[in-house]
Chain A
Amino acid sequence: MTTTADPRAAIASTQRQPGTTGWLLLSPMLLWLGLFVVAPTAILFVYSFCQRDELGQVVFEFTWSNYARIADPVYLNILVRSLWYAGLTTAICLVVGYPVAYYIARSPVQRRSWLLLTVMIPFWISFLLRTYAWISLLKAEGPVSGLLEWAHAIATPLDILYTPTAVMIGLVYTYLPFMILPIFTSAEKLDNSLIEAALDLGANPVRTLAHVIFPLTKPGIYAGVLLVFVPSIGMFAVTDLMGGARVPMIGNVIQNQFGQARDWPFGAALGITFLALFVIAFWFLHDRGEVRR
């Protein structure tokens, strides 16, 4: 506790260690983390070493078998495919999202808020509802197919619903705002005089982009990549609804263990493995982000 009269000393010591007030202010977040992150993860961790009985109830008998099962090529294949889909989603979101974010950030203030609003508006509608809307749009007898046929762009009805293409459309659509927003924040802070300096000193626009703009917006890119990549690996609703549940992703496999298969211990083992992968990925990206900054 800091009772010293010197305000500078007080500030210095609170920076080192939060006082009672600091802990009090922190407590809601700590409670939240403890109850909804640490405790469930601990339960999951314990379950992942348990077994199931005939009814699917968890039996507290130690086993490694759930983790051994993950090493089965069946699940490794699915994990690799999920990483590939998530990677592709991230790449498309980055290529599409970066120019959009940059453009919005460089727009005059008045227009900027309008443009930002258009990025956010979809969040006002339930995610599932928007996914069902995509199904209506893309179905063989739907408006997109009809329009393309009318324009003679295609000869037979559109056949992309319930294919991997539809899954990609769904994933990119869902996660694009999560790429745009952090890059926007970085690009907005970008000092225009630095770009002007680069151009004045003879760098062409490509070089300016590569050596000035990209490095300065890197924190936003890293944040965007993380925000898109991590959740899209675990996504199961889009693959189920728009992909017709044909190609299982790791999220579907996990969901199935807690639903139809009623094999919670195996689902828990998958979840824990998955979490470990996230932590490693985060570490890696975070470290790089810190160093480059």
Chain B
Amino acid sequence: MKRLRLLLAAATALVAVAQLHAAKELNLFGWSEYVPQAVLDKFTAETGIKVNYETYASNEEMLSKLLGGASAYDLIQPTDYVIEALRAKGKLEAIDFKNVPNFKNISKEYTNLPHDPEQKYSVPYMAGTVGIVVNTEKIKEPITGLDDVFSGKYASRIVTLNDNRELLTWAMRTLDLDINKVTPDAIAKARPVLAKWLPQIKLYDSDSPKTALLNGDVDVGVVWSGEAAILYRENKKFAYVLPKEGAHLWIDSLAIPKGAPHKAAAEQFINFILRPEISALISEAFPYTNPNTEARKLLTPEQLANPASYPSATKLETFRDIGKAASVVDKLITDLKGGS
């Protein structure tokens, strides 16, 4: 009997410890290659909160897991238009900004944008653009826009993202259409443009378009700025140009999913990330555009000179959620690729 009571006491103690532990945890579900381990370690050392960092390679993968309810995530890193879709479906927890005083460091350029107009559900993490990378050793003529890339002169020397909406958006830009109004009419107008462009593309690669550029299999690409920044770091012959027709600005933000078990820890983490010195640490590892004004002051002149991280201005626009129209876009590009 005595032994039983002892056992029971031990069990109770164990449960208590486990609960204490549970409160000291944060389940972060973020992009792969995006949050340096050093930053997570610093956070744990300072707060005692253990960070479980699980990663994904696309917004769609994240949505599948999040909506499938597989695991209880506290913090996710969706891109702008996904924030909009999740918010519209009531899948996000409003962030208590009283717990995130460092939010003041974020540049006004990146707040109150259409995907979160009242800035209640998201905090910008990193931003970037989709632009043109040119191997200036191979291409001597100036390239300033998408029209130049797809003029026909560089047929079979082009790599682009394998992203149906991006491809459609580029065509819509050259036609001066609103990129967020994906209507049957807009698609009909964009179709002939894409029918002319797509056969010129040597390969589509969203995961690592830099590989084909580095290998010399292509000379010009329309790619994520992050890829371009890495290419530029590797070799200065890779120039980054924002298309004169306008470019896609994407903002990956931190957001708390509905019913997150450790909301307080999530807010604590957001506030930590927004500290200038921590944010600069992230920029050092991953050369995206840092929306944190105070952190930018800590960056080296060389980091700031990388044109892919901090490009000169052009018309920048974020994506809005297009809902079910995504199927139509998917069909259009599949059709055009299949026909080529």
The docked-state distance in angstroms from the alpha carbon of A246 to that of B86 is 32
- Output the nearest chain A residue to B337 by Cβ-Cβ distance: A248
The docked-state distance in angstroms from the alpha carbon of A256 to that of B323 is 16
Contacts of A74 in B (CB 8 A): 331, 334-335, 338
Contacts of A266 in B (CB 8 A): 327
Is A106's CB within 8 Å of the partner chain B?
no
Classify chain A: how many residues form its interface, as a range. Answer: 35 or more
Contacts of A55 in B (CB 8 A): 63, 67, 85-86, 89, 91
Interface residues of B in 211-241 (CB under 8 A from A): 212, 215-217
C-beta contact mask, B315-331 vs A, less than 8 Å → 1, else 0?
00000010110110011
Contacts of A260 in B (CB 8 A): 58, 60, 163-164, 330
A54 touches B89 (CB 8 A): yes
Q: How far is the CB of A274 from chain B (nearest CB, A)?
A: 16
A54's partner among B156, B163, B324 (CB-CB below 8 A) is B324
Contacts of A53 in B (CB 8 A): 324
C-beta contact mask, B144-187 vs A, less than 8 Å → 1, else 0?
00000000000010000011100000000000000000000000
Main DSSP-derived SS at the B contact region:
helix
A141's partner among B216, B327, B334 (CB-CB below 8 A) is B216
B63 touches A54 (CB 8 A): no
Q: How far is the CB of A286 from chain B (nearest CB, A)?
A: 31
A245 touches B85 (CB 8 A): no
A245 touches B60 (CB 8 A): no
B340's partner among A161, A247, A257, A263 (CB-CB below 8 A) is A247
Is B284's CB within 8 Å of the partner chain A?
no
C-beta contact mask, A234-277 vs B, less than 8 Å → 1, else 0?
00000010001111100001001101111100100000000000
Given contacts A54-B324, A81-B338, A248-B337, contact A261 B88 (CB under 8 A): no
Is A119's CB within 8 Å of the partner chain B?
no
B327 touches A263 (CB 8 A): yes
Is B201's CB within 8 Å of the partner chain A?
yes
The docked-state distance in angstroms from the alpha carbon of A170 to that of B330 is 26
A56 touches B60 (CB 8 A): yes
Interface residues of A in 197-232 (CB under 8 A from B): none
Contacts of B64 in A (CB 8 A): 262
Is A57's CB within 8 Å of the partner chain B?
yes
C-beta contact mask, A56-83 vs B, less than 8 Å → 1, else 0?
1100000000000100101101100100
Is B43's CB within 8 Å of the partner chain A?
no
The docked-state distance in angstroms from the alpha carbon of A140 to that of B204 is 17
A246 touches B340 (CB 8 A): yes
Q: How far is the CB of A174 from chain B (nearest CB, A)?
A: 19
Is B109's CB within 8 Å of the partner chain A?
no
B residues lining the A interface (CB < 8 Å): 58, 60-61, 63-64, 67, 85-86, 88-89, 91, 156, 162-164, 201-205, 212, 215-217, 321, 323-324, 326-327, 330-331, 334-335, 337-340
A residues lining the B interface (CB < 8 Å): 52-57, 69, 72, 74-75, 77-78, 81, 139-142, 159, 161-162, 240, 244-248, 253, 256-257, 259-263, 266
A-B contact pairs, 5 of them (CB 8 A): A244-B203, A244-B204, A245-B204, A259-B58, A261-B164
